[in-house]
Structure 1
Amino acid sequence: MKLSKILSLFFLLGSVSFYGQQESMKNKKQQIHALKIAFLTSELDLSPKEANQFWPVYNAFDQQQFEIRHQKMKVCKNEINATALNKLSEKEALLLLDKIESSEEELYRLRKKYQTDLKQILPAIKILKLKKSEEDFNRKLLRQYRAKK
């Protein structure tokens, strides 16, 4: 029953129109984040102690991961898109590959630290439930996005 309430809320929030593309994207990101938190909360069944420790760690990880993916990796992708690949020198291509590899390594280190931090807060079964719940949420979000197109 919790899931149906969350999905109803998602449909309601998804139907609201926004003004200005940049503001709209920010609002949508916040709404999706709020829905994700509600979904994960219902799926994980965290104790109050677990929740108090978990959410700051989760939110910090989520923000850092977003920054790496959307700021550092986006710069690399923009460089690839802005420049015809055939016009890149070998030296420029190697520098770009190094940037990409560095961002991927940073993301990997962040995930490892997050996993270590979670093990101090949650039992292993809840960490696995978290991973599954995040995948389920992303799948549902993608399905709803495709249904709107």
Structure 2
Amino acid sequence: MNFKKLFPILFLFLSFNFYAQNDSSKDKKEQIRAMKVAFFTTELDLTSSEAEKFWPLYNTYDDKQFELRHQKMKGYFKRMQGDNLDKLSEKEASALLGQIQDNEEDLFNLRKRFIANIKEVLPSIKILKLKKAEEDFNRKLLQQYKDKGSNK
């Protein structure tokens, strides 16, 4: 059986497994990463040489992006929950807004560096396919989450 035919099956198996277990967030992150690898491998049709160079770059980028989006932003949004936002002075609100903007700029610069690095590994068409695959994967993951919530 061709590996390209196995990846969608693996993706489906992992997605069911992802919701069947109640593991720690680190385990869930690893399950999502495995699903992402299977999905991207199918969508991007990477050669073994491309995959060997691509995945270390992508995983480093993905980890840093996760840190910027979830770890730093979590702190910012925690300060804005409930009536905390109304208790901020104008100076504190301005400082918080500046931190959020700096974080968003860091995300933008991270993406630019990643694209520059990945251009040495993949042709532009596959980089565009990567962008589409990321969007499709996130949409699919969100849909599974919604479906899980509606089945309770």
Query: TM-score by structure 2 length?
Result: 0.87
Q: Percent identity?
A: 50
How far, CA to CA, are the matches of 2:24 and 2:106 in structure 1?
A: 29
Which residue is equivalent to 1:92? 92
Which residue is equivalent to 1:68? 68
How far, CA to CA, are the matches of 2:48 and 2:124 in structure 1?
A: 18
Q: 1:6 aligned to 3, 7, 10, which one?
A: 10
Which residue is equivalent to 2:146? 146
Moved more, 116-125 or 23-32: 23-32
Deviation of the 1:54 alpha carbon: 0.6
Q: Residue 140 and residue 77 in structure 1: after superposition, are their counterparts in 2 closer, same or farther (change >3 A)?
A: same
Which residue is equivalent to 1:115? 115
Which residue is equivalent to 1:135? 135
SS of 1:120's equivalent in the other structure is: coil
SS of 2:81's equivalent in the other structure is: helix
**What CA deviation, in whole Å up to 9, does each residue of 1:55-95 have, x standing for no partner?**
11000000000000111111111111265222211111111
The runs of 5 or more residues in structure 2 that have no matched partner are: none
**What residue identity is the alignment partner of 2:123?**
P
1:36 aligns with 2:40: no
Aligned length: 145
The runs of 5 or more residues in structure 1 that have no matched partner are: none
Which residue is equivalent to 2:21? 17
Query: TM-score by structure 1 length?
Result: 0.89
Moved more, 23-32 or 1-10: 1-10
How far, CA to CA, are the matches of 2:93 and 2:19 in structure 1?
A: 44
Moved more, 8-17 or 96-105: 8-17
Q: Residue 12 and residue 87 in structure 1: after superposition, are their counterparts in 2 closer, same or farther (change >3 A)?
A: closer
Deviation of the 1:120 alpha carbon: 1.1
Return structure 1 stretches of 4+ with deviation > 3 angstroms: 1-4
- Indicate conservation of the 8 Å contact 1:61/1:114, yes or no: yes
**What CA deviation, in whole Å up to 9, does each residue of 1:69-125 have, x standing for no partner?**
111111111111265222211111111111111111111110110011111110011
**What residue identity is the alignment partner of 2:21?**
S
